[in-house]
């Protein structure tokens, strides 16, 4: 393992902004992680573990500590009884490449999560989700490195305490854990998940149940239509989370805004569409502030139009948050993590 100094993070983030890491290294194994944490401890450095850089905003000042790029690799398939297969993947593997591989092997369970940028390690931390599916639906267990004891630990899906774009790994003291491997349970039997509106509409009017490959291609086409190309435009995808309200809160807002969409979440809550609020209620879809804009086809997405700074992106985010607070009385949460 080699430690470098003053490494720019801009090109390691899909937002394509941000300063440098004071120290930087790549960890391709459990032993590399141990060595990296020992180095950080010797210099009393704070640590940030980087995956694909797709859900972060690096500050213009960079990160005055050690950034560890998690590059633990390897994918293993183990057939089990009952038409099930366990898929074990290293945290540094590309997420969509894993999905594509599983689809090519006719394994059901990840197809609705096609096209999500980032690495495998981020999937359980964020409980990634899209088009009616979440990673928690298939997680068997998560292997982590615990720097407190310098040991490996394995957690069941239940122990991960998954929530909406959330898990125990996002909260102290469990945020210290570094995901090293993820094991999923997938099925060889067809289990099409067509409940999400966009997916349902895509296949409307056709006869028969779509194949696994067709569902993946549909999800990729829907994403391409709605979302910017990460290779061409700086973005971190959805900047904000959809608010989850009590029935009473939802009724209050619905009385003011009758067209506000909401769907049941859990047993007694309602998840509302923040994209609808930003677009239809605030009229901010496509809104541009300097070199930063609300994406013209998906209002949850903020985009760097070329030479934006992290400060300029945050100013637009803060303006959206302020307007929502003033208009609807809601405090919204960010999905993107600010690294500083």
Catalytic residues: 165, 238, 335
Dihedrals φ, ψ of 212, to 5°?
A: -60, -45
Measure the CA–CA gap between 4 and 200, rounded to whole angstroms. 49
Is residue 313 classed as helix, strand or coil in its secondary structure?
A: helix
* Residues 6 or more apart whose Cβ sits within 8 Å of residue 256: 328
* Residues 6 or more apart whose Cβ sits within 8 Å of residue 40: 23, 46, 47, 65, 66
Residue with tokens 């804009």: 293
Burial 154-174 (b: 16+ CB within 10 A, else e): ebebeebbbebbbbbbeeeeb
A 10 A CB-CB count for 243 gives 22
Structure-block tokens of residue 237: 């995808």
Do residues 12 and 53 touch, judged by C-beta distance below 8 A?
Answer: yes
Give Dmax over CA atoms of the chain in angstroms: 64
Q: How many residues does the chain have?
A: 340
Q: How would you classify residue 210: left for phi > 0, otherwise alpha for psi between -120 and 50, otherwise beta? A: beta
Measure the CA–CA gap between 18 and 60, rounded to whole angstroms. 4
Structure-block tokens of residue 200: 């349902």
Is residue 148 classed as helix, strand or coil in its secondary structure?
A: coil
Do residues 46 and 23 touch, judged by C-beta distance below 8 A?
Answer: no
Measure the CA–CA gap between 69 and 19, rounded to whole angstroms. 16
Give the end-to-end CA distance of the chain in Å, rounded to a whole number.
24
């Amino acid at each position: 393992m080699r430690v470098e100094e003053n490494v720019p993070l801009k090109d390691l983030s899909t937002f394509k902004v941000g300063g440098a890491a004071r120290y930087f290294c790549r960890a391709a194994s459990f032993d590399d992680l141990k060595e990296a944490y020992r180095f950080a401890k010797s210099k009393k450095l704070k640590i940030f573990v980087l995956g694909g850089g797709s859900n972060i905003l690096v500050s213009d000042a960079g990160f005055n500590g050690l950034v560890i790029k998690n590059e633990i690799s390897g994918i293993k398939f183990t057939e089990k009884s009952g038409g099930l297969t366990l898929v074990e993947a290293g945290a540094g593997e590309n997420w969509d490449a894993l999905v594509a591989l599983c689809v090519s092997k006719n394994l059901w369970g990840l197809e609705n999560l096609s096209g999500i940028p980032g690495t495998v390690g981020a999937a359980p931390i964020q409980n990634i989700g899209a088009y009616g599916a979440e990673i928690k639906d298939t997680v068997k267990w998560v292997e982590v490195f615990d720097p407190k004891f310098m040991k490996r630990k394995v957690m069941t899906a239940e122990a991960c305490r998954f929530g909406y774009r959330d898990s125990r790994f996002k909260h102290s003291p469990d945020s210290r854990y570094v995901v090293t491997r993820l094991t999923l349970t997938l099925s060889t039997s067809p289990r099409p998940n067509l409940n999400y509106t966009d997916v349902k509409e895509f296949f409307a009017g056709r006869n028969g149940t779509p194949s696994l490959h067709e569902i993946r291609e549909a999800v990729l086409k829907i994403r391409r239509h709605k979302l910017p190309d990460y290779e061409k435009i700086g973005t971190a995808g959805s900047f904000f989370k959809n608010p989850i309200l009590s029935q009473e809160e939802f009724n209050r807002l619905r009385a003011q805004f009758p067209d506000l969409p909401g769907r049941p979440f859990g047993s007694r809550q309602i998840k509302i569409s923040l994209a609808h609020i930003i677009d239809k209620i605030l009229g901010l879809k496509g809104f541009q502030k300097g070199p930063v804009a609300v994406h013209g086809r998906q209002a949850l997405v903020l985009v760097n139009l070329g030479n934006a700074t992290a400060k300029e992106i945050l100013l637009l985010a803060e303006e959206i948050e302020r307007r929502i607070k003033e208009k609807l009385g809601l405090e919204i949460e960010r999905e993107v993590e600010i690294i500083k």
